[in-house]
Structure 1
């Protein structure tokens, strides 16, 4: 999911914060739905798919929470590793990005 950021400075952060907050609500509702499903069909593939969706939703919530925390701390948009600014184009595609591209490549090999 891509975020369209056209405003500079503080307005841009407000847009990002608002989008992340909305996405947090969506993912929280998804997690609630997934955890309330009690239908055990006995199909291992369905159980595996459900576990994968739960893990992906939890990871998404962690990423969103981390991005919101960085906004509150004033460190959003700076690479966690080298502290250089993360390009706006990268943040539009990955609003939760913690690393610039070179550091991301080093981080994940």
Structure 2
């Protein structure tokens, strides 16, 4: 989303940023709950997987927020082209356009 001054796009970015901050807080609370020791060894494996997934989600959200702040949000980190807004609406933490993501996944 490079150098966009359209008020509709700015409103969308503001709403997205608020949503990402809200999701970050929710995932942080979830991580706190998951890391609380329940004393049940049967839950350890499940909790480990949930903790890993939650940490990944937090990293992705934090990365999107950093790109928003730095002005690089919405640009592919590999080729530098704009990532289509439709992709960002579905996957707000997307770092790559679809062709580059496919190359990344190999």
CA distance in 1, matches of 2:15, 2:101: 24
1:3 is matched with none
- Determine if the alignment matches structure 1 residue 47 to structure 2 residue 37: no
Shift in Å, 1:12: 1.4
1:9 is matched with 9
Query: In the alignment, which of 40, 64, 68 is matched to residue 67 of structure 1?
Result: 64
Q: Summarize deviations over 1:74-106 as a string: whole Å, max 9, x none.
A: 110000100111111110110000000000010
2:3 is matched with none
2:4 is matched with none
2:22 is matched with 22
Number of equivalent positions = 100
Q: Name the TM-score, length of structure 1 as normaliser.
A: 0.87
Aligned residue for 1:83, secondary structure, equals coil
> Aligned Cα RMSD in Å?
1.2
1:78 is matched with 75
Aligned residue for 1:8, secondary structure, equals helix
